[in-house]
Amino acid sequence: MQNTRMAKKEDAPISLFNARERYFQIRKKLRSYQSLMNDIKDNQHPGVLDLATHLANLNMVHAQSASIFESGDPNKITSKYLTMLKNFEMLVNEFEAVLLEAHAELTNVK
């Protein structure tokens, strides 16, 4: 039986053609995480501080890469930055899974 599922955009490899689009998807995700963090920030759970620190680190990487991907100049995007973006996307997706699990546990949302 063939799998007829359409591939998501995140499943496609990052290339020069889609790097800026993927960067903006990551930026949108990072912005949405702030509201989830606001929901759990008052909990006295030790993992909340770790999540806040991790989110701050991801935001710092985002800020550092903004000059490359937001410039609109395709000549600035090198293979080094494509690799960085691929790794950054992977870290953001892993963080999302942990944050959603923590949010569900700490806010008792099922």
Res 2 pLDDT > 50: no
Q: Name residues whose C-beta falls within 8 Å of residue 33's C-beta, 6 or more positions apart in sequence.
A: 55, 95, 96, 99
| Gap between the Cα atoms of 96 and 3, Å rounded | 27
| Gap between the Cα atoms of 12 and 65, Å rounded | 21
Mean of the per-residue pLDDT values of the chain:
86
Written as six digits, the tokens of 87 are 């790794």
**pTM to 2 decimal places:** 0.81
| Gap between the Cα atoms of 8 and 22, Å rounded | 12
| Gap between the Cα atoms of 23 and 11, Å rounded | 14
User: Is residue 69 classed exposed, middle or buried when 0-12, 13-18 and 19+ CB atoms within 10 A define those classes?
Assistant: buried
Tens digit of each residue's pLDDT (9 = 90 or more) over 37-65: 998 988 888 889 999 999 999 999 999 99
Tens digit of each residue's pLDDT (9 = 90 or more) over 68-97: 999 888 888 999 999 999 999 999 999 999
